[in-house]
Amino acid sequence: MKQHLLCALMLALTALPAGAANLVKTYSYFAIGGRTLDDIEKQLSKNGPQVKSTGSRHPGATQMAFTTRVSYAEKPGSCRIADAIVTVKVKVILPEWRRSRRAGPDVRLFWDTLFADIKRHEERHVEIAKNHGKQLEDALKASYPQKTCAAAKAKAAEITATQLAAHDQDQLRFDRVESVNFESRILRLLRYRIEGIEKGRLPPA
């Protein structure tokens, strides 16, 4: 459930209104089968996306790429960043269970709960990335003028590296917290779903 991070300084694909980092989001799915919880676990371990940072497979992943478009304004003895637009391009990879007719209602209930949690987790990765895209955009626009445009470009690269390093740390911190709380979170969500089904708030699995 970690992510790849690709950073390139290039033209952004599209522009958003001023003051907001652009988000381009797509989804892809990988199929899994199985009729028991053990089957599903094995399928996720076998078919889940492989994350380079860990070398292992995960039940979901979010791939990210930050691109920036920076323009400069030059005058004698000074050069500043005139504008900056950051685009965050993400690809969310999620599992798709081909439900077996022989799978019991308890398995279907667990899967619905697990899938919802996987999707929520990956969407939070997207939110963290978008927030840091906005912070990067703001930091670039707020940078002080430099003596030359070469220096201004070097400053832009420095700001970008600092902001993306902070982004990586926030993503890793989020994963650590989620990993520690996984079991208690799933049990709590299961109880909520069971109560919802019993009270008619949610349809049966």
Highest mean pLDDT pick, 14-18, 141-145, 193-197: 141-145
What confidence tier does 188 reach under pLDDT thresholds 50, 70, 90? confident
Q: Which domain holds residue 29?
A: 5-198
Q: HSE of 113 in the Cβ direction (CA atoms, 13 Å)?
A: 24
Predicted confidence (pLDDT) per residue in 78-134, tens digit:
999 999 999 999 999 999 998 777 888 889 888 989 999 999 999 999 999 999 999
Interstrand relation of 22-32 and 61-75 (parallel, antiparallel or unpaired): unpaired
Residue 163 lies in a domain: yes
Residue 205 lies in a domain: no
Q: Rounded distance, CA 105 to CA 26, Å?
A: 31
Residue 98 lies in a domain: yes
Residue 26 lies in a domain: yes
- Name the strand (E) or helix (H) holding 155: helix 149-180
Q: What is the mean pLDDT of the chain?
A: 84
Residue 203 lies in a domain: no
Residue 204 lies in a domain: no
Which pair of tokens denotes residue 114?
């697990």
The pTM (predicted TM-score) of the whole model is: 0.80
Residue 141 lies in a domain: yes
Predicted confidence (pLDDT) per residue in 140-158, tens digit:
999 999 999 999 999 999 9
Q: Rounded distance, CA 92 to CA 132, Å?
A: 17
Q: How many domains does the chain have?
A: 1
Q: Rounded distance, CA 15 to CA 18, Å?
A: 8
In this structure, are residues 120 and 174 in contact, taking their beta carbons and an 8 Å threshold?
Answer: no
Residue 11 lies in a domain: yes
